[in-house]
């Protein structure tokens, strides 16, 4: 029996990850895709991946695109990609939809639409979908953003379903949040309810080719005017678009740029990014905690404690203490 050679994993992991990051930064789309998969699948290499990415992050502008289903998010995202490519930007796109399975209809439609850009090496497009575990997307989406950021994307667009329904609240992930509305969708009334008025940095009235766009704009302007803002605060602009005809997206890009300049000059960019990092840490820690509670011999400690509390044999504070003491 000859000398035992180190298994490739033992000596090679750092190089595997290092090579992937180097290739991703050189613009190799397969390396980018592989890194996102490692993140999504919670690969054993995950820790190394995030550590290797960290020094290269912070350069990308993160733009969230949200609004009710059918308002035109995917169409607008694709049109925005076209607009940003004209300006020579490297663009990442994450389509996040916790409600659809990976091969679901909505995402399939999005992919077809995105095929305009499928052959462009300066555009990375990825659909993210919850793999079903608690907090999965809250935890993996920011890491996928990190991959695209480190890969040298100038801008990362995140399309997600409407406010309040999503496990991933895009406003928490983005530097700039675009809120899309469209006439004829009852958005005028819904907007205030859904908390949309708090999260938008730029409001886009899409489907401006339809009746009611100007009425909707007036309604929205009135509602936004009610919000109290300081003198130096950002005042969200309202832009009209016809995304299906690539109309008005240049104005959207202008407003994204203007908002980014304000974020930098006001110090708000650092505030938002620190808050984002905090949310990331919390999501990772909570996911780890839940995994520990849920993983003991099929039946979780948490289940046992819950049965005791329900039966009056223990109280919830004592049970929580037990849970934390055993970590
Ligand atoms: N008339 C009109 N239709 C649009 C416009 N933008 C998108 N659509 C259509 O609206 C439908 C929903 O668009 P989609 O981008 O999938 O919406 P999402 O669910 O928000 O991603 C599609 O049939 C689009 O072709 C627009 O500006 N005007
Ligand atoms: Mg869509």
pLDDT digits (tens, 9 = 90+) for 79-126: 999 999 999 999 999 988 655 444 333 344 455 455 566 667 788 888
Torsion over CA: 11, 16, 21, 27 (sign):
positive
Q: Which ligand 1 atom sits nearest the alpha carbon of residue 76?
A: 15
Residue 314 has pLDDT above 80, yes or no: yes
Q: For 230-265, what is each residue's pLDDT tens digit?
A: 888 999 999 999 999 999 999 999 999 999 999 999
E-assigned strand segments in the chain: 61-66, 91-96, 123-128, 155-160, 176-181, 202-205, 238-240
Are the beta carbons of 24 and 150 closer than 8 angstroms? Answer: yes
CB of 243 shorter than 6 A to ligand 1:
yes
Residue 77 Cβ inside 6 Å of ligand 1? The answer reads no
In the predicted model, is pLDDT for residue 167 greater than 50? no
255 near 87, Cβ under 8 Å? no
Q: How many angstroms does the Cα of residue 235 sit away from the middle of ligand 1?
A: 27
Answer yes or no: is the C-beta of 154 below 6 A from any ligand 1 atom: no
> Ligand 1 in contact with 69 (CB < 6 A)?
yes
Integer Cα distance of 65 and 202 in angstroms: 10
Q: Tell me the pairing of strands 176-181 and 91-96.
A: unpaired
pLDDT on residue 20: 94
Q: Which pair of structure tokens corresponds to residue 103?
A: 């091969």
CA atoms within 13 A on the CB side of 322: 16
Q: pLDDT per residue over 188-205, tens digit each?
A: 555 555 577 888 999 999
Confidence band, pLDDT 50/70/90 cuts, at residue 134: very low
pLDDT at 318 > cutoff 80: yes
Q: What is the pLDDT of residue 76?
A: 94
Measured distance CA(3)–CA(188) in Å, rounded: 74
The protein residues having their C-beta less than 5 angstroms from ligand 2 (an ion) are 73-74, 110
**Model pTM score:** 0.85
User: What's the confidence (pLDDT) of residue 297?
Assistant: 52
**Ligand positioned closest to the Cα atom of 107:** 2
In short, whether 205's Cβ falls inside 6 Å of ligand 1 is: no
Q: Mean pLDDT in the chain?
A: 82
């Amino acid at each position: 029996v000859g000398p035992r050679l180190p298994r490739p994993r033992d000596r090679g992991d750092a190089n595997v990850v290092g090579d992937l990051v180097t290739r991703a930064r050189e613009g190799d789309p397969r390396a980018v895709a592989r890194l996102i998969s490692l993140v999504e699948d919670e690969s054993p290499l995950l820790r190394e991946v995030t550590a290797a990415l960290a020094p290269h992050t912070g350069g990308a502008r993160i733009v969230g695109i949200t609004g009710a289903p059918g308002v035109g998010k995917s169409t607008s995202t694709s049109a925005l990609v076209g607009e940003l490519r004209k300006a020579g930007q490297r663009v990442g796109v994450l389509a996040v939809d916790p409600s659809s399975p990976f091969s679901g209809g909505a995402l399939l439609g999005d992919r077809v639409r995105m095929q305009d850009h499928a052959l462009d090496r300066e555009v990375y497009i990825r659909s993210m979908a919850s793999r079903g575990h608690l907090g999965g997307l809250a935890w993996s989406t920011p890491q996928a953003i990190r991959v695209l950021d480190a890969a040298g994307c100038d801008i990362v667009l995140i399309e997600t379903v409407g406010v309040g329904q999503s496990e991933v609240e895009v406003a928490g992930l983005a530097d700039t949040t675009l809120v899309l509305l469209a006439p004829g969708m009852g958005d005028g009334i819904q907007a205030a309810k859904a908390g949309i008025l708090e999260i938008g940095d730029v409001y886009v009235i899409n489907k401006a080719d339809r009746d009611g766009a100007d009425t909707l704009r007036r309604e929205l302007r009135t509602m936004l005017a009610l919000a109290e803002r300081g003198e130096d605060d950002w005042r969200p602009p309202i832009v009209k678009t016809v995304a299906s005809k690539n109309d008005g997206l240049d104005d959207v890009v202008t407003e994204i740029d203007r908002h980014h300049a304000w974020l930098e000059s006001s110090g708000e960019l650092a505030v938002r990014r620190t808050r984002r990092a905090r949310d990331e840490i919390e999501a990772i820690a909570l996911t780890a905690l839940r995994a520990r509670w849920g993983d003991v011999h099929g039946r979780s400690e948490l289940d046992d404690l819950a049965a005791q509390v329900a039966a009056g044999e223990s109280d919830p504070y004592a049970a929580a203490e037990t849970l934390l003491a055993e970590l």
